[in-house]
Amino acid sequence: MMTLDELKKIIGRMFAGNLSADDRKSLAEEQPLASLLEEQWHNGKEWHKEEKVEPQDMWNSIVDECWKEKSRSVPAGKKIFFTLAGWTAVAAVSLFAAWLIGTHVSYVTVEAPLEAKKMVLLPDSSKVWLNAAASIRYRKDFVKDRKVELEGEGFFDVRKMEGKPFIVHAGQAAIEVKGTEFNVMRMPETTTVTLFTGAVEFSAPELDSPVRMKPNEQIAYDIRTGQIILGKVDSAEYDWRTGKYKFVDKPLKDLIHFINRNYKVNVTLGDEVNKEVLFTGTIRREEGLMDVLDKICINMGLEIRHKDGEKIELY
């Protein structure tokens, strides 16, 4: 059992930031300290779950609570006992606070500007391209578990590491990766995952087991309804990092379907139009609907006419 003077010296070194390994061992081996440390842990265990913790506020709160228990009136003969108990309590919560602060998880957050894209090189050499206004957050000791949290849209080029899967959390959805290229778009009510190469596993609360995706597949997850739709896409057609849709021998009927989906319009083809004719060309994401239709008509020798208000027909 250490003496009170030894205990005071150790506490002094702790406050000065000079606590040695032997000091920590001495404190840890004291049974009264261990008991109080366990009690303080149960009382303050929610602290470590907060993203931001002010060490001094935490320290003051724990110490105040501890001394509150020891400040009641006691007989004169018991004064030394409670003084020692007070110092013991301070040592215990000091050790607890130092441990908690030392093990508090620190995060790195990277945000893309509102009107620009940003490339992020992660500590494991994986790359993330963030679309405008998107952000990712990951632990400073990222390589330990390789988990990132995504807001907005991000394209991931993940480096393979044996025994260490890469996991993207997008709201309630999670995508586990072995080493691949994929895109995740997280919106307030939906999450969309598009796989370019390799394999990923998609999980959500509504699923009994993860869905293993293959290249050129896309999952659309509606957070409100829990609906999950798995479908085929031509992932090579669009890379938002360049802002261009590139089509090679795309059947006209499929191109019109693409336009209707992306521009949320109703474009149809006339009965006399060959719907299987192939289109090759590039469409910029920022191009307006009529500019895109003009480009298609020039390429295909078609004309545009408006029908029934909002309907557009190519003939």
Check residue 48 and give its pLDDT: 45
The alpha carbons of the chain give a radius of gyration, in whole angstroms, of 30
Mean pLDDT for each 10-residue chunk of the chain (315 residues)?
A: 67 69 66 50 46 52 50 46 49 53 75 93 95 95 94 94 93 90 92 92 95 93 94 79 83 90 89 92 87 91 87 93
Looking at residue 58, the DSSP 8-state letter turns out to be: H
Only one residue has tokens 């919106």, namely 187
What CA–CA distance (Å, rounded) separates 156 from 177?
Answer: 10
* pTM of this prediction exceeds 0.85: no
Distance in Å from the first CA to the final CA of the chain: 95
Q: Just give the CATH number of 243-314.
A: 3.55.50.30
Q: What is the pLDDT of residue 178?
A: 77
What was the pLDDT predicted at 282? 87
- Please, are residues 96 and 27 in contact by the beta-carbon 8 Å criterion? no
DSSP annotation of 274 reads -
Q: Which fold has domain 107-236?
A: Jelly Rolls (2.60.120)
The structural domains of the chain, with segments of one domain joined by +, span 4-103, 107-236, 243-314
